[in-house]
Structure 1
Amino acid sequence: MGKKPADRVLADTEAKAFLASIRTSPRKLNLVAESIRGLKADVALNALTFSKRRIAVEVRKVLQSAIANAENNHQLDVDRLYVAEAFVGKAMVMKRWKARARGRVGRIEKPFSNLTVIVRERAEAAGE
């Protein structure tokens, strides 16, 4: 059994948002999360706004929450934020059954995912 691992401690220039039990597979969600990693916060929001993927709406909400956390809870400059980390984890899997021929059943799995977005403030350039 053992102890639960300690949560990651955020630096002073970071803010985090987490969404649990998103009704999509981790593989599909990771495609969207991958597309915003390393981007500036406003560019990432634009990319998610115009993405054709259904789950991009949920990812956009989580990113907006992380930006709001950075601004209100950590007093970070919104204009200098970028997506430092965006990672996906597995959550529960609902199992359902579908009747098939000759009295058999087909198993249907409906996966859920967790999403964590961490935004970080870029250090000021020497010229500023």
Structure 2
Amino acid sequence: MGKNNQGHRANTAKARNVRIAPQKARPVIDLVRNKPILEALDILQFTQKKAAPIIAKVIESALHNVEHSDELDWDVDELIVAQAYVDEGPTLRRFKPRAMGRATRINKRTSHITVVLEPR
């Protein structure tokens, strides 16, 4: 593994296996990428999408990780959302009965949401 990929970094937060489709979460995360952290949380507070409170929680978690880190001494007011992305998680496959004894597969998609904070 590379130097930057060793373990969990203090300026990162991840939410794995979140029950929202990545296709629905990606437009919301695009709103906050490269924004100051307080502005990003304000944007999410007034965004009427199911993904908004989930992404806000991940950003707050990353913020708390920075605040409580022994190795990082960053000013909270200077932080921006440097990286934010949504990856596809495992798909839950369900079946719905249809006419004439058939069944249709329903894919319930999940997401992995990652947020990385860095100073401006």
Corresponding position: 1:91 with 2:89: yes
1-structure distance, mates of 2:101, 2:4:
50
Cα 1:7–1:53, aligned 2, differ >3 Å: closer, same or farther? farther
TM-score normalised by structure 2 residue count: 0.89
Task: Tell me how far 1:70 sits from its aligned partner.
Answer: 1.4
2-structure distance, mates of 1:8, 1:54:
32
2-structure distance, mates of 1:9, 1:108:
35
Corresponding position: 1:116 with 2:114: yes
Aligned to 2:24: 28
1-structure distance, mates of 2:3, 2:95:
37
1-structure distance, mates of 2:5, 2:96:
45
Select the structure that is richer in helix: 2
Corresponding position: 1:46 with 2:39: no
TM-score normalised by structure 1 residue count: 0.84
Task: Tell me how far 1:6 sits from its aligned partner.
Answer: 4.9
Two-structure CA RMSD over aligned residues (Å): 1.7
Task: Tell me how far 1:98 sits from its aligned partner.
Answer: 0.5
* Unaligned 5+ runs, structure 2: none
Task: Tell me how far 1:75 sits from its aligned partner.
Answer: 2.3
Please state whether the residue corresponding to 2:11 is helix, strand or coil. Answer: strand
Task: Tell me how far 1:71 sits from its aligned partner.
Answer: 1.8
* Unaligned 5+ runs, structure 1: 123-128
Task: Tell me how far 1:8 sits from its aligned partner.
Answer: 3.5
CA distances 1:56-108 after superposition (whole Å, capped 9, x unpaired): 11100100111111122122100100000001111110101111011111110
Aligned length: 115
Aligned to 1:105: 103
